[in-house]
Structure 1
Amino acid sequence: MKKIYLPVMLLLLTFTSCKKFLEEKPNGLLTPDNYYNSQDQIRAAVNGAYLGLNSPFATGIGVAVSSVFSLEYITGYTQRPRPSGYEDNQFIQLTGIDQANGTLQTWWTSSYYPIENCNSIIANVSKTNVVNETVRDNFLAEAYFLRAYYYFQLVRLYGSVPLKITPTTDLENTQLEKAPVADIYNQIVSDLTTAEQAGLPWTDKTGHVSKGAIKSLLAKVYITMAGYPLNKGTEYYQKAYDKAKEVIESNQFSLFSNYSDLRNPSNYNSGEHIFMIQHDENTIPNIMHFSLMPYPEQPISIQPSYSGAMAPAKEFYDSYQAGDQRVKEKNFYYTEHEQYGNASNIIKLPMPYIYKYWNDQAEISGRDGSNFPLIRYADILLLCAEARANIDGGTTSDATALNAYNQVYRRAFPGAPAVASVALNEVLKERYWELAYEFQTWYDMQRTRKAFDVANNKIVDLIGYKAPLHTRAFREQDLLWPIPLTEVQKDPNLGK
């Protein structure tokens, strides 16, 4: 009997509650004969596949250093208040990314390890008879969604990569050719449309994959395929619009009335939060609250030293229009805060800092257990408007698209009249402002090949644009990251 080697299976988890379903329970090497033999075992295996969502956020040295911040550094709209090292500066300054940069390896393994887990789940659960067909198909839907999510992450970061959809049954023949980008996207769509057919509910308060998450991700995939690098155009903008419209017309999601509601734990996995990383302050804490604290250290926190990872470039912060509620104090940003332990003393901060991920409870416990949003309803609303504007030649008066755009716009500008038409570039700017520092902007820049010239308040071509914090303008070779050197050394095919 051959053993199945599953790297991520070392992190298999036991389901307990929505906040604890990522609690680690190591199991070591496994075989099909001693696993997938009960519903609880299958549930644990599927839970394990979620771990890769949080892996890029991990930090192991106690300060605000994490691979996830590279996605914001490379945009050129993000500064690092804490002194940065050589690897971070490659992204922050756009000096060119070294193939040996450790960030590349983290993103690579954060996708391929859980993909291997998904492959094992799909291969083994597909033939199981220990659960009924509906339960089986729902488990499979989660695995298909997660595999699609990880490949979507890989193909946008690295372009052509190996496409592996079967489990590893031994350690031989592990070297793989890179697949064409189009093939990878086709597999992503196949996985998501398969997941879409299962009986998952539209929402899932526990934080597991839902129908709403599947359809939302499919909309994001289609709009990416419509743009660069595949340039499939109108047909795929229509697919993106149709899928976003399904999410909207389900009436299962809604924008929160106040931006502070985004941070309220009682709202996690509901309302505006379509899909989130689940955290627990004791077992899998969120790094964001303390990583984004002001630097140099300010006495506004129980732990002020683990700070300074990311703050808005002044030029980007200043680009918000007068009256925009997103820059109202303690909505998306803040410039002052009460002193920790002495609320009557207001500390003025050296620059605007990001408030999106502030967690009041963390100030009591010293650990952040807040969930992190991966897909937000505001994203899908703006995606709907963007897709329709592309279909309609650059400006749209489509009722669904306008209603979607106006929901986001009028929350930012309460009392403003609804717009009767909206231009593509206005939608794109709204995406920059609304989704800032949610690790979405770089992907938008890649697929549209557009940038936001914040100094002149206009959308411009990405290639040739020099972002506020970069030392030079974007070049074509900046758009994809090199495959990690260690991976190329192990598999020369990846260097071709």
Structure 2
Amino acid sequence: MMNKKYIKCTIAIVAMMQVFVSCKKDFLELTPKGTALEDNFYKNETEVMQGIISVYDVTQWGTTGGYTMKMPLLSAASDDCWAGGSNASDQPNWVAFDNFNMDSRIGPQGGLWNKNYTGINRANLILSKIEKATTLSAAFKTRVTAEAKFLRAYFYFDLVRFFGKVPLITSVLPTDELYKQVQATPAQVYTQIEKDLRDAFPGLPATISAGEKGRISMGAAKAQLAKVLLYQNDNTKLTEAITLFEDINKTGNAYGYALLANYADIFNPANKFNSESILEIPHSNNAAWSDWGWINGGEGNVGTQFIGMDSYNGDTYSSGWGFCPVTLDLVNVLKTDPRFAATIIDGAALKTAGATYNTRYQNTDYFIKKYAPLKAFRSASGVAEQNWPINEIEIRLADTYLMQAEALVKAGSNPTRAKELLDAVRARVGLGSVPVTLDNIYNERRLELATEGHRFFDLVRTGKAVAVLGAVGFKANKSEYLPIPQTEIDVTKGNIKQNPGYN
């Protein structure tokens, strides 16, 4: 979405974008334009729009501080997938997260910290500029302010789930404050997330026009807030969460959301921004990138390249790098489920049909299908491995159905509605009704959302992580969070403290 040349201070929380861009084909497709001093920029709506796109841009990033693409990385941390790769030393940060053997220097924490604080600082910068601007129309100012607040909340939601206590920064910091930051409690961070999302509601449209797909809608903001409320495990927040979910999930909702009739169509790259998609991170091979020095300069989904079969030769799929082989545990729970064929590639069956690929570390002969590299979508320009135009759906309607059903059961409220929601998800794939219990809802989440990056946080927030992941190294009161990057502790001279259990 933008040129990625920028000036970065040692500490991630003071990274600041210094290069600006111009529009190419649609809202989120941009190519380099030139440079400008920040003090002389953001003077009109065109420049402010470029600034808000630079905040959106960070949601695509997956290679800051190493390969830290959120969706496959979280699948590897869960019981859905293993880390994979050529060997245990291929991506040691992934393997460390896979077996919960991280320390302050080994693990994916550096990239995840840097990405999210870069997004937060860009949001803070554009909010400060919008506040001072005098040439913006009221409607434009309202909408971009809402988008910046949503995005700041989005980045903080990832940070608080990954790290727990993190610095809470809601303004552009003066130089003498850069290294004095201390951590806020998770409760304080969640309070800010909730405020930003509620503030965003009035400024966002109910639906997004065809030329602006990728921008945030009011429905996405409401879904994100409802999810934030549910994830806090605070029963006093369930009533608001249920109300928000119902606004999104009800038949004839204002946002145009509806379950697709065919489950596999959700993940067809030719069917982007479909009626089931609520929050979707776009990727494209427009302005195809070819610089391995900074893959974030492009807009492609490198995670797709990661999960493909190594040196694959056969029909349908393109070659990948062999990461995230699917666990036999997930295979066994899905093998009689109608969603198996749309979720998992059976490599052994492909070999029987004449295909070949290299077996790699932790190979099971089963691979992620939902975001797999497909020959039909391989980029013909730039470096194809960097430019997969396959979007990531972060929140979709079946997910919000199941979250609302969960909230209703926890609140002891409207079991009839909870049953309707759970039944609808199952009926879409031809499955019958089951009793509406938390265990059945959690089981349905695993089957419905497998390999989409939800499972690890679901296990943590429901208290099931030790039972499910303990055998592979997960430890209570430690592994729920990543370690704080040692570089952040060092540069703040210990103002930022390490999470419990790490050294």
In which range does the TM-score fall when normalised by the shorter chain?
A: 0.7 to 0.9
Q: 2:443 aligns with which of 429, 439, 457?
A: 429
Residue number in structure 1 paired with 2:258: 254
Matched, 1:53 2:71: no
For the 8 Å contact 1:255–1:378, the answer to whether it is kept is: yes
8 Å Cα contact 1:302/1:363 also seen in 2: no
- The 2-side partners of 1:427 and 1:11 are apart by 46
Aligned-partner Cα distance in 2 for 1:305–1:66: 20
Tell me the amino acid that sits aligned with residue 108 of structure 1.
Answer: W
* Pairing of 1:204-243 with structure 2 (within 5 A): 205=210, 206-225=213-232, 227=233, 232-233=234-235, 235-243=236-244
Contact 2:97–2:108 (CA under 8 A) maintained in structure 1: no
In structure 1, C-alpha distance between the alignment counterparts of 2:425 and 2:51, rounded to whole Å: 38
Q: How does 1:414-453 map to 2 (within 5 A)?
A: 414=430, 416-419=431-434, 421-450=435-464
Structure 1 equivalent of residue 345 of structure 2: 334
* Cα displacement (A) at 1:346: 5.1
| Cα 1:173–1:353 shift into 2, 3 Å | closer
- Tell me, what secondary structure is at the counterpart of 1:70? helix
* 8 A Cα contact 1:13 1:47, kept in partner: no
Displacement of 1:193: 0.2
Q: Deviations over 1:218-276 (max 9, x none)?
A: 01101012x1xxxx22x212221111111113251112222331233443223111121
Question: Does 2:499 match 1:493?
Answer: no
CA distance in 2, matches of 1:98, 1:299: 38
Q: Which residue of 1 aligns with 2:415?
A: 397
Q: Distance in 1 between matches of 2:484 and 2:307?
A: 29
Task: Determine helix, strand or coil for the equivalent of 1:269.
Answer: coil
Structure 1 residue runs of 5 or longer lacking an equivalent are: 451-461
SS of match in other structure, 1:140: helix
| Structure 1 residues 215 and 431: alpha-carbon distance in aligned structure 2, compared to 1, 3 A threshold | same
Question: Using a 3 Å threshold, how does the CA distance of structure 1 residues 163 and 26 change in structure 2: closer, same or farther?
Answer: farther
In 2, are the aligned partners of 1:18 and 1:278 still within 8 Å (CA)?
A: no
Deviation at 1:19, TM superposition (A): 6.8
Instruction: Show the counterpart of 2:138.
Output: 133
Closer/same/farther in 2, CA of residues 10 and 326 from structure 1, 3 Å limit: farther
TM-score, normalised via structure 2 length: 0.83
Report how far residue 161 of structure 1 moved: 0.7
Q: Does 1:176 align with 2:194?
A: no
Distance 1:486 1:25, change over 3 A: farther
Matching residue of 1:112: 117
Q: Is 1:156 equivalent to 2:161 in the alignment?
A: yes
Q: Report the equivalent of 1:312.
A: 326
Matches of 1:59 and 1:361 in 2, distance apart?
Answer: 30
How far is the alpha carbon of 1:310 from its aligned partner?
0.7
**Aligned equivalent of 2:308, options 293, 303, 328:** 293
Count, aligned residues: 456
Aligned residue number for residue 17 of structure 1: 25
Structure 2 distance, partners of 1:406, 1:191, is: 33
Contact 1:275 1:376 in 2 (8 A): yes
TM-superposition CA deviations, 1:274-294 (whole Å, max 9, x none): 121121211411123322112
SS at match of 2:112: helix
The residue identity in structure 2 corresponding to 1:143 is A
1:302 CA drift (Å): 9.8
Structure 1 residues 449, 204: CA separation in 2 closer, same or farther (over 3 Å shift)?
Answer: farther
Alignment RMSD: 3.0
* Contact kept? 1:9, 1:27, Cα under 8 Å: no
Question: Is the partner of 1:353 in helix, strand or coil?
Answer: strand
Q: Are 1:268 and 2:272 counterparts? A: yes
**Matches of 2:32 and 2:317 in 1, distance apart?**
26
SS state of the match for residue 390, structure 1?
helix
Q: C-alpha separation between the residues in 2 aligned to 1:15 and 1:213?
A: 24
Residue of structure 1 equivalent to 2:283:
279
Given the superposition, is the C-alpha separation of residues 217 and 466 from structure 1 closer, same or farther in structure 2, using an over 3 Å criterion?
closer
TM-score normalised according to structure 1 size? 0.84
Q: Residue by residue, what CA displacement relative to the aligned partner does 1:166-200 show, whole Å, maximum 9, x if unpaired?
A: 11343554421111211110000000000012142
- Equivalent in 193, 198, 219 of residue 193 of structure 1: 198
Percent sequence identity over aligned pairs:
23
Alignment CA distance shift 1:312-1:344 (3 Å): closer
What SS is found at the alignment partner of 2:175?
coil
Quote how far apart the aligned CAs of 1:104 are.
0.8
Residues 59, 363 of structure 1: alpha-carbon distance in 2 compared, 3 angstrom cutoff: farther
Native 8 Å contact 1:36 1:124 kept in 2: yes
